[in-house]
Chains A and B, each alone.
Chain A
Amino acid sequence: MSATGIVSPRLRMPGPVRARRRTGRGLSWALVALVALLTLLAIFARLLAPYDPVQPIGALSLPPGSPDHLLGTDSIGRDLLSRTLYGIQVSWFAALVVVVSGLVIGGIIGTLAGVAGGFIDNLLMRFTDLFLALPGTLVAIAIVAALGYNLQNTLIGIGVVWWPYYARIIRGEVKALASRPHVEAARLAGAGPARIVFRHVLPGVIPTAIVTASLDIGNVVLLLAGLSFLGLGQPAPAPELGADTARNLGQLLTEPWIPLIPGLAVLLLSLVANLGGDGVRTLIGGRR
């Protein structure tokens, strides 16, 4: 994790020279652009999809490359390209929602703990540890099972287990920054607690938070797909990548494209998300 990067003073020349990869700035931008492209694809999925994803409209089980159905159709004649595009939309935005909610909840708890210190810090961090100690996926499944199977509840389930990681990282950054002389100087200069937190501490946390979050999106994509694979996503006809893979697993040997295409879409999403996160890390990491 790059959590310590921001507090280390710039190294003077003597001593072990840590080789930081400075090459590939252009590559990093390209990776970030890839994420942007994927986001555009998700936003305009409804416009790009050639057919209704739920209605059977073509011949049954057409292989990819068919003239009217680029990625083929499934066993009841639904257009796979349309289903995949819709599925990407759902997965991508759901992942963003989870990561953003993790950042917000974890950010608030982490900042509170880091700034307050002492008893409050201990209380909040033990609470966080409690969540970290539980197997997150299982807890998410339990929550979804209790609330009922739909996308909203899946998001709630994952959101509940996703923030502790952010809380820990942000608390660490806040504590490190808060102990730096510039915060003492600001205190002496007459800045109040709120001003110190929002002007002299939190802006320094942003780079780490962004890097952490961008590297994390891929994980959420995978977890969401996993849950929907297990049947904890939207109910049946709705296009969802994990569920589509699961439901059609039986055709893996006879009509392999039907389960494979949504599965590969998941792979693509999490790959692009991770590459993009790496790009963000290089770009932000190099600047601070």
Chain B
Amino acid sequence: MATSTDAPPAASLSGLTLSLERDGVRSDVLRGIDLEIARGEIVGLVGESGSGKSVLALALMGLLPHRSHPEVGGAIRVAGVDMVHGRAEELRAVRRNELGVIFQDPMTSLNPTMRIGDQVTEASGTSEESLRLLTAVGIADAELRFRVYPHELSGGLRQRVMAAIAVAGRPSLIIADEPTTALDVTVQAQVLDLLRELRDEFGCSVVLITHDLAVAGQIADRIAVLYAGRIAEVGPTGEVLHAPTHPYTVGLLRSRLSLGTPRDQELRTLRPETGTPAERMLGCAYHTRCPLAVERCRVEQPPLLDIALASAPGIGGEVALTADLPTDERLGPADHDRACWRTVDDVQGFIHDTANAAPLTSRVAPGPGREPAVRVTDLTVTFALRQNRRQRGAGSSAAREVRALRGLNLTVEPGEAVSIVGESGSGKSTLLRVIGGLTPATSGSVALAAGGAQMVFQDAGSSLTPWLTVGELLGERLAPLGLGRTENRARIDRALTSIGLPLSVARVRPAELSGGQRQRVALARATMIPPAVLLCDEPTSALDASLAASVLNLIREMRRELEMTVLFVTHDLSVARLMGDRIVVMTQGEIVEVGTSADVIERPEHPYTRRLLASVPEIGATV
């Protein structure tokens, strides 16, 4: 076993605890983390939002925000330097020489006022070296790109520039915090490949932080699953993905949507959090959501132990504590550890239990003979582009307008659900906005059945007016009906019940709700008076997998109940397959393929569709 060769680990965390203060309230963000990142190793750090994974990245860099008054316990060592107590100059030296960072949004982490070349050179020293780096991260025409500004590059290229800066100082460790989340699937795959190549070429270690187990599965050697500031499970990638031993990992894998998820069943979700913070502090943090929780989970925190040890017979059997073990049995890179009181057999037995997947009741049959719900004819949309002199000089003079849609035809039958798939810039959102009447058509026509269109936006937070209460926002839809106060109230209550939120939410402002709850409210507003067609613009792309699944369930349920027509825009083929009877594939303002979901996924005809399909990160064997 290549566990403990003479080379020290690139980074090590031992017994790391961290509490931060926000608005005067102190909360424990990390609660005892032991993790070692070996040289040349890629470790995937996976968790939902709020699991503490991004804070962990900041802690590794020694960049915890001062204003949150961090209190750190335990130790963080990067390249042998204590990142908790080290002097500021020491930490800076480590960041300069040993660490490289890639953030989620390269637009905000690149300096918009500096040329790309200068920014890379700042880190690399010489412009020759910068050119070499830019070429190394796969930027074609590096010399040309040298003089451009970040906004002139696409998202994928920007992320490559970030990568070039990250490796410029020959770091021993690259920290990549959700580096692919903001990117299209095809670009996502390239950036992940790039990370692996960087490791292979420069021999650095990588900490890949992500919410998606499959993304980590693509390149990580090991995966650590984080829940509520603790490691729930850590082990070699293959084992964690295919033989998970912690109920939370199992839950994540089960709620993850893939191209193999059964279409005719309700999507499986994790149980929503019901416990109070105090309950979570005691015992296993996951026990309030865990379907396998027993009494012991409520009162005693399970230690992180090797699965070979923890699978001792009987629930809560005699489990040896780490301290009693010979040292070579403690955490090592190739070990598979977990923190759970239930036996491995119990957890793995649960994997194959599909009892709680409720089948979907009868689908809405598209009613032939009726007028179509949406008919789009020869639709084109052209945006005039304002250019500055520099750009005009560089490009051809003809490129003054962008043709977002180029003569589209689409007919959607009443009651039908159609998914529109494409990458950013494909025109899919523009199509939706034209149908919703938010963007005017340049030519062509859109005809809607009586009832009009309603829309659910990608970012529910910004689609709800921040200073109005949920009740006021919902009531707005009813205003034209002139129903009177009591009837309005009753309708609002009914709408809240239908989306599974308590009635008290009516008095609350959007900021006080979670992302998933806000999207539910947006959905309730759109469907309070059933529209002829419900337009969904990537409503779940900002949500954690399990939350996304529950919102998708809700949309499917509402569609059935209200016999609604749904147009669902997404960049994710697995979501498109689940939400649509038909799938429309768009690229560069044109529809390149239309077909039933099964046909498009199983027998894609257009090369672009095939390329999209090949880029979807998958976990092979289904759980």
Contact = CB atoms under 8 A, between A and B. Distances in A.
Interface of A: 9, 13-15, 17, 19, 22, 180-191, 195, 199-200, 203-204
Given A22-B67, A185-B455, A190-B480, A13 B58 contact: yes
Interface in B290-306: none
A185 B54 contact: no
A19 B67 contact: yes
B49 to A, nearest CB: 10
B525 A189 contact: yes
Given A14-B109, A184-B455, 19 more contacts: A9-B462, A14-B57, A14-B58, A14-B177, A15-B108, A17-B65, A17-B67, A183-B465, A185-B455, A185-B463, A186-B476, A189-B454, A189-B473, A189-B477, A195-B479, A199-B465, A199-B468, A200-B465, A204-B467
B457 interface: yes
A228 B605 CA distance: 83
B477 A190 contact: yes
A190 B479 contact: yes
Interface residues of B, number: 34
B438 A186 contact: no
B55 interface: yes
B466 interface: yes
A252 to B, nearest CB: 49
A29 B438 CA distance: 44
B522 A185 contact: yes
Interface in B40-73: 54-55, 57-58, 65, 67
A63 to B, nearest CB: 52
B438 A187 contact: yes
Most buried by A among B65, B437, B466: B466
Contacts of A181: 457, 459, 462-463
Given A13-B54, A200-B465, A188 B453 contact: yes
Contact of B438 (A13, A188, A204): A188
Contacts of A187: 438
A190 B437 CA distance: 12
Given A13-B65, A14-B109, A19-B67, A185 B468 contact: no
B103 interface: yes
B436 interface: yes
Interface of B: 54-55, 57-58, 65, 67, 103-104, 108-109, 177, 436-438, 453-455, 457, 459, 462-468, 473, 476-477, 479-480, 522, 525-526
A181 B65 CA distance: 31
A185 B58 CA distance: 36
A185 B67 contact: no
A231 B104 CA distance: 63
Contacts of B108: 15
A188 B465 contact: no
A150 B318 CA distance: 94
Nearest to B68: A13
Contacts of B57: 14
A190 B476 contact: yes
A197 B477 CA distance: 16
Nearest to B454: A188
A185 B526 CA distance: 9
B579 to A, nearest CB: 20
Most buried by B among A13, A22, A188: A188
Contacts of B477: 189-190
Contacts of A9: 462
Contacts of B462: 9, 180-182
Contacts of A180: 462
B54 A14 contact: yes
Contact of B467 (A185, A195, A203): A203
11 contacts: A13-B55, A13-B58, A14-B103, A14-B104, A17-B67, A22-B67, A180-B462, A181-B459, A181-B463, A185-B464, A188-B436
Contact of A188 (B437, B459, B464, B468): B437
B475 to A, nearest CB: 10
A191 B525 CA distance: 12
Nearest to B436: A188
A75 to B, nearest CB: 57
A191 B477 CA distance: 8
Given A22-B67, A180-B462, A181-B462, A188 B455 contact: yes
A233 to B, nearest CB: 41
B109 A15 contact: yes
Contacts of A185: 455, 457, 463-465, 522, 525
Given A14-B103, A189-B476, A182 B58 contact: no
Most buried by B among A9, A189, A204: A189
A15 to B, nearest CB: 5
B3 to A, nearest CB: 32
Contacts of A189: 454, 473, 476-477, 525-526
Nearest to A191: B476
A189 B65 CA distance: 40
A172 to B, nearest CB: 18
A143 to B, nearest CB: 39
Nearest to A182: B465
Contacts of B525: 185, 189
